[in-house]
A and B are shown apart, each in its own frame.
Chain A
Amino acid sequence: MKAYFVIIGILLFPLTALAVDPGEILKDSKLEKRARAISKGLRCVVCQNQSIDDSDAQLARDLRILVRNRILVGDSDTAVLDYVVSRYGDFVLLKPPVKGVTLVLWFGPVLITLAGLIGLILFYRRQKIRLNNLIQLNNKGQKN
């Protein structure tokens, strides 16, 4: 019975599996927090759909350490990101930046929805006009 409760207890409070090694964590918790935030936005280039914060890949680990080292030498968050982007390209950012080539990506859906709405409005307007025409025709016919 006791064991049963222990198992239930363990299941109730699962330890989240961390990719980050205890040894990697910075002593300064403020800096560590920044490192975690940056790592969450960087793609693991080996596994591609995980962030380096989530990934167990060795290259992801080395990138996490690099991010922390850049922070330790005093880089700002954007400087760290620029450092990685200048080597791996925008692709390494999980959230693509808003700029010329990504405009379609960011605003395409809005434009398509707008186009659809305009189409709908035009469609119903035309139907109304047609209906009115029909009614007018009908009225004329009755008068004659």
Chain B
Amino acid sequence: MNSRWPYYAPLIILGVLVSYFAASLGQNPAEVKSVLINKTVPEFVLPPIEGNFNGFSSSDLKGDIVLVNIFGSWCFACRIEHPFLMQLKETNTIPIYGIDWREPDRTAGPKWLKKYGNPYTRIGDDPKSLGAIAFGVTGAPETFIIDKNGIIRFKHIGPITKKNWDKTFKPILEELEKK
């Protein structure tokens, strides 16, 4: 055996580390993988937003495959995704449950929904981040796919677009539909 190999070991290790770090550069540090995937939704109870009769709590998430969407009238990216959510509602694709997160005041959320339309089956008012923390949310918008048994199957960070809907949401939903 070549007895000089220990001299090259540091170089080889450096090479491995550099390629690992270089590959990690493209990742977004804000996208931390959720530990809640394949777990039951943690319990939460949220009151209705002003003008609504029903709130939204974890016990509502059984029996149907649904989306849970965290939004807020202050959130610019939510405004961008909103027309697509309306489209999902109009085509009866899937029920969407909303968590209206940290509104500056109680009228801001309802006003926003009145102006742009309400795609949600149920909405919970979440001024103290109780719902957001239950879902391990770090920002808005975030969207979760919940299966018929109330188990979280997928988490999407950022606005839903037609493109990522077709690419990621659709296949997962079709798979869940089969079960």
> Is A46 an interface residue when CB atoms closer than 8 A count as contact?
yes
What are 13 A-B pairs at a CB distance below 8 A?
A46-B138, A59-B129, A59-B138, A62-B130, A65-B128, A86-B35, A86-B42, A87-B42, A87-B134, A87-B136, A91-B32, A119-B6, A122-B6
Known A59-B138, A119-B6; contact A89-B129, beta-carbon cutoff 8 A: no
Q: Mark A84-119, 1 if CB is under 8 A from B, else 0.
A: 111111110000000000000000000000000001
The 10 closest A-B pairs by CB, nearest first: A62-B129, A89-B35, A87-B136, A45-B138, A88-B136, A91-B32, A62-B128, A119-B6, A59-B129, A66-B133
* Interface residue tally for chain A (C-beta within 8 Å): 20
A residues bordering B, Cβ < 8 Å? Answer: 45-46, 48, 58-59, 62-63, 65-66, 84-91, 119, 122-123
Residues of chain B lying within 8 A (CB to CB) of residue A87: 35-36, 42, 133-136
Describe A's contact surface by its main secondary structure.
helix
Interface residue? B26 (CB, 8 A): no
B interface: dominant SS: loop
Q: A49's closest neighbor in chain B, by CB?
A: B29
Q: How far is the CA of A14 from the CA of B170 in the complex (A)?
A: 56
Q: A59-B129, A88-B35, A119-B6 given; name 12 further pairs at CB < 8 Å.
A: A45-B138, A46-B138, A46-B139, A48-B29, A59-B138, A63-B133, A66-B133, A86-B42, A87-B134, A89-B34, A89-B136, A90-B35
